[in-house]
């Protein structure tokens, strides 16, 4: 389980947390509420190299399809196949069994550019007042 307080967050609402020598990525609880009922997840291919901010995954809800972005540059080393079989895991446990993929970072300090939990909470407050 990725404790939200120990995760880093991207402005596009992905969380990232160290998982052994890789990083696990999912969407925040805020994002899963915005997306509503997830009905499909198209996960990235293992071995794919991604740039920070690159769309690498798609989740579809009853409302629309949403791109999920790589919070840091690296290589996809694992995907959560349970989410392919049961996409609702993303809604039920976005920080637990609803994680999406793991990646090996290109640089060790790549996550330092991302927001910590309290910065993300502040970002959500300002973003919600900006008409989102």
The domain that holds 42 is classified in CATH as 2.40.50.100
Please tell me the predicted confidence (pLDDT) of residue 130: 59
- What is the band of 132 on the pLDDT scale with cuts at 50, 70, 90? very low
Task: Answer yes or no: is pLDDT of 37 > 70.
Answer: yes
Count up the domains in the chain and report the number.
1
pLDDT single digits (tens) 78-117: 999 999 999 999 999 999 999 999 999 999 888 999 999 9
| pTM (two decimals) | 0.93
User: Which residue, among 20, 11, 14, 27, has the nearest Cα to 122 in the 3D structure?
Assistant: 11
Residue 23: pLDDT band with limits 50, 70, 90: very high
3-state class of 33 per DSSP?
Answer: helix
DSSP H helical ranges for the chain: 29-35, 81-85, 89-92, 117-129
- Residue 69's pLDDT is 98
Structure confidence at residue 42 as a pLDDT band (50, 70, 90): very high
Q: Does residue 127 surpass a pLDDT of 60? A: yes
Given a contact cutoff of 8 angstroms between Cβ atoms, the answer to whether 44 and 79 are in contact is yes
Q: What is the pLDDT of residue 11?
A: 96
Specify the pLDDT at position 95: 95
Q: 81: burial class by Cβ within 10 Å (0-12, 13-18, 19+)? A: exposed
What's the domain range around 40? 4-129
Q: How far apart are CA 122 and CA 72, in angstroms?
A: 21
């Amino acid at each position: 389980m990725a404790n939200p307080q120990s995760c880093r967050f991207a402005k596009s609402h992905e969380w990232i947390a160290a998982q052994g020598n890789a990083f696990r990525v999912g969407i925040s609880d805020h994002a899963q509420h915005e997306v509503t009922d997830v009905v499909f997840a198209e996960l990235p291919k293992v071995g794919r190299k991604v740039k920070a901010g690159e769309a690498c995954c798609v989740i579809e809800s009853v409302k629309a399809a949403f791109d999920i972005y790589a919070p840091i540059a690296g290589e996809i080393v694992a995907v959560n196949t349970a989410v392919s079989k049961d996409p609702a895991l993303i809604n039920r446990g976005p920080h637990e069994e609803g994680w999406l993929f793991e990646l090996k970072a290109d640089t060790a300090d790549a996550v330092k550019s991302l927001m910590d939990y309290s910065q993300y909470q502040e970002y959500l407050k300002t973003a919600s007042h900006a008409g989102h």
